[in-house]
Amino acid sequence: MTASFTIAIDGPAAAGKGTISKAVAAELGLGHLDTGLLYRAVGVRVLEGIPAIEAARTLTPEDLARPDLRGREAAQAASKVAVIAEVRAALVDFQRAFARRAGGAVLDGRDIGTVICPYAEVKLFVTASAEVRAQRRFLELSAKGQSISLEEVLADVKERDERDMNRAEAPLKPAEDAVVIDTSALSIEAAIALALQEVAAHR
Ligand code: DC
């Protein structure tokens, strides 16, 4: 593998990109950055009253380690701040530096293959039907003790898809040269195997 090797994994919420990214990074010994966490951290700071652009420009490693980043409120807040061009711009350098770290990196998000790392050696777009994604997120949130109905989760997923796909800045869409993996009918193991196959074809 070359000194820097970037794998870009994009897709909508709960399609499985986080699980696939972690597994690929662990299997190949690469760094992994979940870029959604950056937007979630900005989102929760905004919920605390900090203006969005200031929050993005002053993010600290501690902000990224907060335990409340995985919840429903953080997800919606993240999707809202993510439409702001200056917020996105403030997060670009950190992501690009991570992508080019020695030894290689996997970044997952919405715009990695299209905007952050258009030069990535491997680009995957991981997707699944809204219903399947809502069911997965529902099980995850229920396991964490969040009381929410499947219908509410599906509404959240659709609302975020709509905002993430239709924003002017870096909308969620597959890069032209991305390989699409639809995980609707795939087990986690099968999805990871497909992703690893694709990476192997480019190394
Ligand atoms: O991947 P996630 O669900 O943690 O992302 C939360 C929100 O952050 C998502 O709805 C949109 C935004 N986001 C983005 O705009 N660009 C990224 N690269 C990652 C996340």
Burial of 143 (0-12, 13-18, 19+ CB in 10 A): exposed
Share of the chain above pLDDT 90, in %: 93
Q: Which of 22, 35, 46 to mutate to test the pocket of ligand 1 (most atoms within 8 A of CB)?
A: 35
- For ligand 1, the distance from its centroid to the CA atom of residue 36, given in whole angstroms, is 4
Residue 83 Cα: closest atom of ligand 1: 15
Q: Domain limits of the chain?
A: 6-201
What separation in angstroms does the CA of 118 have from each of 99, 121, 146, 177? 11, 9, 37, 9
Taking alpha carbons only, the member of 7, 2, 3, 20 closest to residue 128 is 20
- How far does residue 5's CA lie from ligand 1's centre (Å)? 22
Query: What average pLDDT does the segment 62-74 reach?
Result: 93
Name which residue sits closest to atom 1 of ligand 1, judged by CA: 36
Q: Which pLDDT tens digit goes with each residue over 34-65?
A: 999 999 999 999 999 999 999 999 999 999 99
Ligand 1: nearest atom to the Cα of 10:
18
Which pLDDT tens digit goes with each residue over 145-191? 889 999 999 999 999 999 999 999 999 999 999 999 999 999 999 99
Read off the pLDDT of each residue in 131-141 and give the average, rounded to a whole number: 95
Q: Ligand 1: residues within 6 Å at CB?
A: 13, 35-36, 39-40, 75, 78-79, 82, 109-111, 160, 164
**How far apart (Å, rounded) are the C-alpha atoms in residues 45 and 17?**
25
Q: Which CATH number fits domain 6-201: 3.40.50.300, 3.40.50.2300, 3.40.720.10, 3.20.20.70?
A: 3.40.50.300
The residue contributing the CA closest to ligand 1 atom 18 is: 109
- Residue owning tokens 């991305």: 178
**Gap from CA of 108 to ligand 1 centroid (Å):** 9
Which ligand 1 atom is the nearest neighbour of the CA of 164? 11
Q: Give the mutation target among 92, 159, 164 for probing the ligand 1 site: most ligand atoms within 8 A of CB.
A: 164
First-last CA distance in the chain: 6
Q: Say what the pLDDT of residue 71 is.
A: 87
